[in-house]
């Protein structure tokens, strides 16, 4: 059994110092790794990332992250990445990372993702150059995610980690008018084509936790306002059936375990 803790939208600011480390102190007995699905900082400032890095440096399990739109706000995303990596965090953007756990190999493909909308209600790269650039950013992001998943095609478990949502399912609760700015169906196509076993995202603070891609891959929204705690734990158990009271979708057995703080 492999256990992954996941969270998103921690929006760490300078006034957040000292809050995260205590909430993550029990991770070694709870999870094999921590996945962070973007919006790690409040305003995308390097000094915010430095404060967060100080706390993540103390986490005693591997930490893998992608950045979110907040982390790009101040055009300091490169510095944010360097600070987190100096603290031992693996930061992905169109890249993959492998974790060797007692229960097998976990391949994590990470990308921030982008918006654009969903089937029948999406933007197209036609017309003004600005619109073409907007849609091509979404296409490029999905292409990078698929490439990263293909890099870990031989892993026992494949996780797609992103900030923007790949499906509408996990957006319900948000105003429908902004769905197109919360995710893209192109990400779901990459998740399905890349044969992921689980997709994790954030960004939709008022959305729902659970969804499925068109190909039946479980999608989980781990934005902190949704999970209402520092992290959610997911169990990957191969093809074994889940125990009583558990919900199973393929390899994922979600037991409802969480850290509510």
Structural domain boundaries in the chain: 2-259
Mean pLDDT of 17-22: 88
Confidence of residue 237 (pLDDT cuts 50, 70, 90): confident
Mean pLDDT of 67-91: 98
Task: Return d(Cα 4, Cα 83) in angstroms, integer.
Answer: 23
Angle between helices 77-86 and 46-56 in degrees, nearest 10? 20
Mean pLDDT of 63-76: 98
Answer CATH for 2-259 from 3.40.50.1100, 3.40.50.300, 3.40.50.10490, 3.60.21.10: 3.60.21.10
Pairing of strands 231-236, 2-7: antiparallel
pLDDT at 119 over 60: yes
Tens digits of per-residue pLDDT, 86-118? Answer: 999 999 999 999 999 988 999 999 999 999 999
Mean pLDDT of 158-162: 98
Percent of the chain at pLDDT > 90 equals 81
Task: Return d(Cα 47, Cα 29) in angstroms, integer.
Answer: 31
**pTM listed for this prediction:** 0.91
Q: Indicate the average pLDDT of the chain.
A: 90
pLDDT at 183: 97
pLDDT at 257: 44
pLDDT at 6 over 60: yes
Mean pLDDT of 162-179: 96
pLDDT at 253 over 70: no
pLDDT at 256 over 60: no
Q: HSE, CB side, 13 Å, CA atoms: give it for residue 24.
A: 26
125 φ/ψ angles, rounded to the nearest 5 degrees: -85, 70
In the chain, beta strands by DSSP E: 2-7, 33-37, 63-66, 90-91, 95-101, 104-111, 117-118, 121-122, 157-162, 198-201, 210-212, 218-221, 231-236, 247-249, 252-254, 258-259
Instruction: Quote the tokens at residue 157.
Output: 């478990």
pLDDT at 103: 87
Geometric angle at alpha carbon 197, from 31 and 193, rounded to 5° = 145
Tens digits of per-residue pLDDT, 177-226? Answer: 999 999 999 999 999 999 999 999 999 999 999 999 999 999 999 999 99
Q: Sort residue 173 into left (φ over 0), alpha (ψ -120 to 50) or beta.
A: left
Tens digits of per-residue pLDDT, 240-251? Answer: 333 323 343 545
pLDDT at 91: 98
Mean pLDDT of 72-81: 97
């Amino acid at each position: 059994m492999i256990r992954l803790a996941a969270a998103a939208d921690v929006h760490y600011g300078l006034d957040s110092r000292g809050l995260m480390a205590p909430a993550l102190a029990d991770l070694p007995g709870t999870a094999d790794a921590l996945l962070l699905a973007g919006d790690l900082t409040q305003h995308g400032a390097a000094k915010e990332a430095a404060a967060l890095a100080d706390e993540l440096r103390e986490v005693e399990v591997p930490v893998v992250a992608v950045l979110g739109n907040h982390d790009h706000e101040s055009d300091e995303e490169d510095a944010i990445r360097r600070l987190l990596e100096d603290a031992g965090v693996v930061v992905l953007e169109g890249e993959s990372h492998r974790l060797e756990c007692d229960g097998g190999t976990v391949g994590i493909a990470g990308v921030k993702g982008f918006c654009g909308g969903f089937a029948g209600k999406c933007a197209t790269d036609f017309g003004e150059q600005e619109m073409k650039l907007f849609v091509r950013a979404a296409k490029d992001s999905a292409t990078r995610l698929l490439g990263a998943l293909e890099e870990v095609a031989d892993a026992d478990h494949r996780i797609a980690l992103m900030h923007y949502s790949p499906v509408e399912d996990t957006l319900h609760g948000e105003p429908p008018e902004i769905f197109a700015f919360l995710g893209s169906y192109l990400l779901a196509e990459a998740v399905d084509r890349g044969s992921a076993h689980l997709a994790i995202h954030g960004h939709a603070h008022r959305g729902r936790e659970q969804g499925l891609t068109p190909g039946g891959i479980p999608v989980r929204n781990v934005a902190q306002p949704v999970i209402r705690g520092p992290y959610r734990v997911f169990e990957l158990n191969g093809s074994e059936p889940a125990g009583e009271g558990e919900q199973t979708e393929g390899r994922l057995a979600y037991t409802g375990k969480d850290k509510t703080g």
